[in-house]
Chain A
Amino acid sequence: MLILALSLMFTAPSQDAVTLPAWIVSLHAYERGNGRDQWSWSELTQARASVADPLWSQPAVSAWWKELYSVYLQYFPVFFLLLTLLGLALCGWCYAHRRVRTCFVIAVSWLIVAIVGWYLVHPLHASLVVIKQPVVVLRTGNGITYPPVILEGQSVQLGAGVEAEYRTERGNGWVQLELKNNILGWVPKDAVYIMK
């Protein structure tokens, strides 16, 4: 059982163009429900790097802060408990010595650090759209008859797995999304996964 669990943790199967968007959405849903952890973060980074879209994929770039963040995610409960113990000790000492004002300042600082630490694991999630079809033409309006969005002389076509911010939708089955660089456009609702 342990071997199976470990194998599941470290060897995620490769995803095709249909599975990849569903996997990205499921990982986002996992993070919304349970908070981010080192596994979901690395899986999401890997999945984003696998998106076959030259313009909108997010290749995995190694950076020191990402490594640090990964370690923090892995040991988050330990960090959080240590912070709690430290805060309790400092506040208790100050209160015992009748330094109420210092105790108050320490408690406020403790709370701020705890909130920031919590936010790193539970970031705010905007409504999200993930493209689920291999090629989806981004259009300027909510209909097939609207012309495609043009970027650098070419129509914007989104690959499966591309993430964008959800804006609104219309009753005729079209969803407005916002890509990076504030590019707005419309895609059919059946061509995307929506996370509100």
Chain B
Amino acid sequence: MQSLVLCLCCLLSQQPAETGKLTLSASKERPFAGELIEITLTIEGFTRTGLELRIPWQFQESGWQQRPDEWIASYSKSAPNSIPVLYQGKTLHVPRVKLGQHQFRWKYRIPTRTENDSLVFGAVSLGNTLSPGLSLEVRPLPVILPSPGEWYLGVGPFQVIARWQQPQVALGEEITLEFAISGAGDLAAINSPKLSELPGWDASKVLLEVAPSVLQKDKRLFRIMVRPRQQELNLSNIKVRFFNPEQERWVTQPVGIPPIRIVSARGALTVPAGSSVDDARSHLPHLLERSLDQHEQGRRTTGWIRWVIAIPFLILLALSIQYAYERWQAFTMTPAKRWQHAARAARVQKQSEELTPARGYALLHGLLQSASLYRGTADHDALLLAVKGIPLEKQFDQLLSSLQNWQFGPMPVQPAAIDKMFEQLLHDAEAITC
């Protein structure tokens, strides 16, 4: 509740007694919450001028329709037959309304919520004269059930006019629909309309978006950007609801939406709805769709070719498995086993072809390579140590020199002798047990 307290110090003024009368009154003694009223201070029978006016009200509160400086400015100019009074060190001129009667006026909007049902304005003094206080009974608004299809404006009365900013719009382009609201109601408290929730304004017909509203001196403009989606656009009227304090009831008024002409976009036909690929396909002429079908059928018959790319994959996989297997075997075999394995492999290789000097070199090389897969590692050192324990090293030297003799001379060498040496070498290698 707004409780305004009179400043008692105004009673202690030193000026002589005045015979005039001060009266506080309101345009409505039982206003509704949210209603705009006028408060009047009537000054009667004052003969002296320049008396000090004291007002205990807090003009900073939101209900006052004028700021204090604006109110002072409105009475600062002298008018015929007005009385000059002092207010906060400034001279105000109280205009005369009739003979011997002068009035100050304020516009005040009753708060929508009060602590109790009364509103008290403290007494005003002019010189030594004190006015009685002003007490108003605030009536709550009648309860109504909210209706989703209506635009609720609050306490009015209001006048609402709708208009398009242009007489026509191209399909797919935007146009502004403007609602101009004027009247005694609280324009600043009105919320934007939720048109998309209203019947007849669904998103399949129009795309809507509320632009920031503009509050002018005596009206408020709501601008709605509208993008028609259909060639024919019949938007239904909007119902606004507000409370009319004069009639003391809720009023529902239809606001007519003027018809809008929708022209085809530049060279366009009606654009079908839908944004997906399937929609696009359904928008194709029959001939094009059939053409697509024909090619798709042709592609399906050659679809198998994609599996060809798997062949190098499989080959790489097989090679990798083989390589990994060999490495694993080499890692897990002991040097002796490795020699035995290499000797058996060399024997098979030797038996497959006729022995020649070049073949002999290749066999020796292969034997060494197979037997020392981890060349240059600690394992290789272990391998050499194992070989040194038996006469393999000596046999290698003899076999190499024999092969050189066989190939280049000077001493003739019998292949059978070399074959025998090979057999001996392989036999000894297989016999390694360390």
Contact = CB atoms under 8 A, between A and B. Distances in A.
Interface string B285-299: 101111110111001
Given A25-B277, A108-B316, A193-B277, A35 B283 contact: no
B393 to A, nearest CB: 27
A37 B295 contact: yes
Interface string A4-16: 0100110011011
Interface in B119-133: none
Interface residues of A, number: 63
Nearest to B268: A134
B288 A114 contact: no
Given A133-B265, A136-B172, A144-B209, A193 B309 contact: no
Interface residues of B, number: 56
10 contacts: A9-B291, A9-B295, A15-B288, A23-B288, A34-B299, A80-B305, A80-B309, A81-B305, A88-B311, A134-B172
Contacts of A193: 275-277, 279-280
B309 A115 contact: yes
A152 B289 CA distance: 39
B264 to A, nearest CB: 9
Contact of A132 (B266, B271, B290, B296): B271
A49 interface: no
Contacts of A37: 295, 299
Given A30-B292, A35-B299, A134-B266, A22 B283 contact: yes
A104 B309 CA distance: 16
A111 B305 contact: no
A71 interface: no
B172 A81 contact: no
A188 B313 CA distance: 46
Main secondary structure of the interface of A (DSSP, over half): helix
Contacts of A189: 275
A108 B315 CA distance: 9
Interface string B138-151: 00000000000000
A115 B325 CA distance: 28
Contact of A40 (B172, B277, B295, B308): B295
B315 A18 contact: no
Contacts of A118: 306, 309
B269 interface: yes
A145 interface: yes
A37 B322 CA distance: 39
Contact of A114 (B210, B212, B229, B312): B312
Given A29-B277, A144-B207, A19 B305 contact: no
